Amino acid sequence: MSTPEVKFLAGNEACAEGAIAAGCRFFAGYPISPSSEIMEKMSGMLPKVGGKFMQMEDELASMGAIIGASLAGAKAMTGTSGPGFSLMQENLGFAAMAEIPCVVVNAMRGGPSTGNPTGPSQSDILQCRWGTHGDHPAIVLSPMTIREVFDATIHCFNFAELLRTPVILAMDAIVAHMRERIEIPPASEIKIINRKKPELKEGETYYPYETTEDLVPPMMNFGEGARYHVTGLNHDKTGFPTGKADLLESGGRRIMDKIEKHIDELLIFEHYNAEDCDVLVVAYGSTARSAKRAIIEAREQGLKAGLFRPVTLFPLPEKEILKAASNAKRIVVPEMNLGQYILEIKRIVGKKVPVVGVNSVNGEPILPSDILSAIKGD
């Protein structure tokens, strides 16, 4: 196509469309509310483009399957919700340590445990960043609109391939299930990034974890002509385990530093009336929609309120938040949990200005009126 394709999609459906457009050719998953439509959509779309779909016995196996598919050369994705996401954490850590690109979609619902399976929540934000153990990289995106779900899914695949790391798309259930008209751009207008491949001369040895200038080693797919070892243990440049202190130190730092080195390519965010604001609202996902409405109403009442909306939640857009908050006398952080992202905002600017939360775990969206009250200081 040379013209945009107009569709009326739910967030989960737009996620599947974005994955296919990004080149995803393998999906493994297990059904769970409110993410099941991603799996359903992928099961129908993948065979049409030469891809493979597998329903797994659980979320542990799903994560393992996409790791294996990625090692074999496929762009791979799984989708889940809170409890399933918890079960994926060990293998997420493996993917981070072994530097295996893949995408995990988490349509967030209320918790802990089984919680509120069909209600919206933003309860997994800190799990997205800190769920697996050890020092590990984390790239987390949280879209607000259905078109943004499509775009963010493509970004997730591009970031995963660029940096050889798992990437998380964190949608709340409202974004996952609401429908909007979107225009899907022609393939020629979509930027696609594929993993960097090694250029080996005859007889040259392939080192899957060598340190390169951009800190991202070239990745050869299994079966392409070189043998290499993959392990979740600390390893040297050959991929084999090591206990040498200097290699543990340099290897651990490199998988973190490669994210920081490319941070300008990863940060996606929006300013809305933030230039002259006295009260800055920091909001993400569907809650940012309510925040925008509250800011419009605040402005109509003569209150200088503005919004900073991170689409990239992690790595944290720290400098950008500081800049947006430079003139603010108060910061409001609404989120459908009892206070998670607010902890990062307090860490960054909490010593300079008061930071207050608007929090809810009742399975309902946070209303513009709730945020407006906090803007007013009621």
pLDDT of 259: 97
pLDDT of 1: 57
pLDDT of 3: 87
> Any idea where the domains of the chain sit in the sequence?
1-266, 269-376
The number of angstroms, rounded, from the C-alpha of 113 to the middle of its chain's C-alpha atoms is 22
Percent share of the chain, pLDDT over 70: 100
Record the tokens describing residue 102, joined without a space.
């893949």
Question: Which CATH number describes the domain made up of 269-376?
Answer: 3.40.50.920
**DSSP run (H or E) holding 51:** none
Q: Distance between CA atoms of 123 and 117, rounded to whole angstroms?
A: 12
DSSP β-bridge partners for residue 309: 270
CB-count exposure of residue 223 (10 Å: 0-12, 13-18, 19+): exposed
Domains 1-266 and 269-376 share a fold: yes
The single-letter code of the amino acid at 99 is E
Under a CB-based contact definition with an 8 Å cutoff, are residues 88 and 96 in contact?
no
- Taking CA atoms, 303 is separated from 282, 295, 375, in Å, by 16, 8, 8
Going through the chain in order, the beta strands assigned E by DSSP cover: 5-10, 24-29, 52-55, 75-80, 102-110, 116-120, 140-141, 166-172, 179-184, 269-272, 279-282, 305-310, 312-314, 330-335, 355-359
Task: Name the CATH superfamily for 1-266.
Answer: Thiamin diphosphate (ThDP)-binding fold, Pyr/PP domains (3.40.50.970)
Q: Distance between CA atoms of 39 and 182, rounded to whole angstroms?
A: 21
Under a CB-based contact definition with an 8 Å cutoff, are residues 109 and 362 in contact?
no
Q: Which residues of the chain have pLDDT under 70?
A: 1
Record the tokens describing residue 31, joined without a space.
């059904």
pLDDT of 2: 74
pLDDT of 203: 84
